[in-house]
Structure 1
Amino acid sequence: MRYLSRMKSLNVVLMLGFAFILCLFSACGGSKRAALSGEYRELVNSRKFEIENDWAVPLRGSMINLIGNPNSIRFKGDSVDVFLPYFGVRHSGGGYGDAGGIEFKGSPRNVSIEESNKDGLQLKFEGNDGNENLQFIVNIFSNGNTTISVNSSQRDAIRYRGNIGPLKEQNE
């Protein structure tokens, strides 16, 4: 009987300690979150940024680690350069010599930047790569993390998870 009583009191102490630590971490992170959001807002509004992804999340299947695989969305003023690997079902289109990834280079259409209710920004834009219409929805969180949803006229939707940063100089 004593043993059960000690175990119950030990469980209560552990749960209270965990709750205290959780509150402490969330309180400390709150001020940093607000400070960072302005930095990323300026980066997006300047339209000189890039996003590299660590994960691909296909509609049908498991998450795929992209570390070490080239992928990016680069905004350079009024143009965008998208190169994302694709894992999923293609319904039509594509042909011999097609790399199979999602590629778009040019001027994006219907660009919009809105405040997100998740303390971040949502960037939307569209592109057309030959016969394929692409719609991108990029959620940028206050800590620099991003989620990208890509909808296509010829493929299953796919999502990516990564990070935003300033545009790096490229030797082209």
Structure 2
Amino acid sequence: MKKIALFRYLLLIMCVTLISCGGSRNQISDSDLKAYEKLQELVNSRGFEIENQWALPLLGGRVNLIGNTNFIRFKGDSVNIFLPYFGVRQSGGGYGEGGGIEYEGPTKNLEIIENRNNQNIRIQFEGSAGTESLKFYLKLYPNGNAETSVNSSQRDAISYRGNVDPLKENE
């Protein structure tokens, strides 16, 4: 009988411990909250840029982009994008074209989704380059990390990993 009582007591302690630890997961520290608010200000200023260190093609391994020109620059309601592309192009593209993903113009159908609980901000918008339709999905984190996915009407999807920073004055 004592073994059963001891077992119940230990089971109760384990349940209380697990429940109390699980509740702290949703709490956001003051420093995390400040970093998230700083990210919100940066996104709302519409003056930031993303430089990627990695390209992740749909097929194949990741590609190191350090030292290779690539950027996503937000300035007001416009964006300037140059991303190297590694993947399969189904159609379009002529001889002598760079082959990268290039877009400069307004952010069509711009959507900004703030998620304070998960500590990220998602940005979605569309653009077109010639006959190619592009959809961009960005996810920004308070620690400066950025994830970008690009869907195209003429190419396989590709993702990028990099960092987000305020836009430099000369750009």
**Same fold at TM > 0.5:** yes
Give the drift of 1:30. Answer: 4.5
Cα distance in structure 1, aligned partners of 2:60 and 2:129 = 25
Question: Partner of 1:170 in structure 2?
Answer: 170
Task: State the TM-score, normalizing by the size of structure 1.
Answer: 0.79
TM-score under structure 2 length normalisation:
0.80
Identical aligned residues as a percent: 56
Partner of 1:41: 40
Give structure 1 regions of 4+ aligned residues with deviation exceeding 6 angstroms. Answer: none
Give the Cα–Cα distance (whole angstroms) in 2 for the partners of residues 100 and 31 of structure 1.
45
- SS of residue matched to 1:169: coil
Residue equivalent to 1:52: 51
SS class of match (1:87): coil
- Residues 56, 160 of structure 1: 8 Å contact kept: yes
- What secondary structure sits across from 2:31 in the alignment? helix
Match of 1:151 in 2: 151
Give the Cα–Cα distance (whole angstroms) in 2 for the partners of residues 88 and 30 of structure 1: 41
Q: Secondary structure at the match of 2:35?
A: helix
Deviation at 1:140, TM superposition (A): 0.5
| Distance in 2 of aligned mates of 1:166 and 1:66 | 20
Gaps of 5+ in 2: 1-24
Question: Quick one: distance in 2 between partners of 1:76 and 1:129?
Answer: 19
Give the corresponding residue for 1:139.
139
Q: What is the alpha-carbon distance in structure 2 between the residues aligned to residue 36 and residue 57 of structure 1?
A: 27
Displacement after TM superposition at 1:170 (Å): 3.2
Matching residue of 1:129: 129
In the TM superposition, residue 31 of structure 1 has moved relative to its aligned partner by 4.2
- Residue 16 of structure 1 corresponds to none
Does 2:36 correspond to 1:65? no
Other-structure match for 2:18: none
What SS does the aligned partner of 1:110 have? strand
- Amino acid paired to 2:74: F
- Aligned partners of 1:104, 1:151: CA distance in 2, in Å? 13
Partners in 1 of 2:77 and 2:71 — Cα distance? 17
Q: Root-mean-square deviation (CA), in Å?
A: 1.6
How many residues align? The count is 144
